[in-house]
Structure 1
Amino acid sequence: MIAIGDRLPAATFKVKTDAGTSEMTTDDVFAGKKVVLFAVPGAFTPTCSMNHLPGYLENAEAIKAKGVDTIAVVSVNDHYVMGAWAAATKAGDKILFLADGAAKFTTAAGLDLDLSGGGLGVRSKRYAMIVEDGVVKSLDIEENPGQATVSGAAAVIEKL
């Protein structure tokens, strides 16, 4: 599993935009930037939609005021679902929604979680990390994917 001090694995995400679909590599997202990346097991799922994401939306300005260039959320969902989630939550340009549809980034980072028992298949653990120029500076993984405490916006703000 990825750890503090490690470089993020190379991967390509899909992003839904007004112009269509684009691809972004880990370099596009993280190179030369300070990024808060949080991960959710699934877009539109209860904890993700009612607790985790709203905290980042409400605190986006406070997070960026701490020198953060980008706030991004990643999920093992396709880019259409992530685009719909961004639209439904009115995230605008506050948060970058990264689709890791085949879980390549998630598994390469060792942050995958098998939720097949719940009918979801391979998903991401719920976590938050602070990344500087592609290197993990902070990583907090939830022990229970149904909670968003150590990976929530308030916890990240304290670390910044």
Structure 2
Amino acid sequence: MTIAEGATLPDVVLHRATADGPEAVQSKDLFSGRKVVLFAVPGAFTPTCSIKHLPGFINKAEEIKAKGVDEIFCLASNDAFVMQAWAKSENVGDAITMLADGDLNFTNGTGLKLDLRGKGLGERANRYAMVIDDNKVTHLAVEEPGAFDVSSAESVLASL
């Protein structure tokens, strides 16, 4: 079952890319007591993710944070090393915190999985964006497979 607006997020282990390498973090610790935006992509270095989704949030990060958002997270079904390399290649800097969901703990817990088996990509996070306030989903925008519209930085900004 897919998580809905008003629901509490699952408390699972994610991995954050840091200068010192991967760091295991509990999702509850990241999202409790603050307002954050989390957007998910099927995979780092993939075309839409690298050309549109991540760059849009980099470009709009200051505007989003000016609306009372404490932090912006990018989640992908990759490992933390890949997320770190992607952040470096896209000059993410401090604008966005990169989260690895390589075991699909968060993806499965939210029901936001995209099945790309048979296309050589396996099971991945669907493309979506959510606004989280104190570990509760206050806005959720899930893309149809292959689409990129409702989860863009511009759409999230309009929802804040």
TM-score range, shorter chain: over 0.9
Aligned-residue sequence identity (percent) comes to: 51
TM-score by length of 2: 0.97
Residues 123-154 of structure 1 show CA distances to partners (whole Å, capped at 9, x for unaligned) of 0110000000000000000013x332100000
Q: Secondary structure at the match of 2:49?
A: helix
Q: Secondary structure at the match of 1:85?
A: helix
TM-score by length of 1: 0.97
Q: Which residue of 2 aligns with 1:66?
A: 67
Whether the aligned pair in 1 keeps the contact of 2:71 and 2:96 (CA below 8 Å) is yes
Does residue 68 of structure 2 align to residue 80 of structure 1?
no
Deviation at 1:27, TM superposition (A): 1.8
Deviation at 1:19, TM superposition (A): 1.9
Q: Which residue of 2 aligns with 1:154?
A: 154
Deviation at 1:120, TM superposition (A): 0.6
CA–CA distance in structure 2, aligned partners of residues 141 and 16 of structure 1 = 24
Residues 93-123 of structure 1 show CA distances to partners (whole Å, capped at 9, x for unaligned) of 1001000011011011100111012101010
CA–CA distance in structure 2, aligned partners of residues 93 and 72 of structure 1 = 11
Range 12-21 or range 104-113, more displaced: 12-21
Whether the aligned pair in 2 keeps the contact of 1:47 and 1:147 (CA below 8 Å) is no
1:45-64 matches, cutoff 5 A: 45-64=46-65
Instruction: Kindly report structure 1 stretches of 4+ aligned residues shifted beyond 4 Å.
Output: none
Q: Secondary structure at the match of 1:24?
A: strand
Structure 2 gap ranges (5+): none
Whether the aligned pair in 2 keeps the contact of 1:126 and 1:151 (CA below 8 Å) is yes
Does residue 106 of structure 2 align to residue 105 of structure 1?
yes
Structure 1 gap ranges (5+): none
Q: Which residue of 1 aligns with 2:119?
A: 118
Range 19-28 or range 96-105, more displaced: 19-28
CA–CA distance in structure 2, aligned partners of residues 50 and 91 of structure 1 = 13
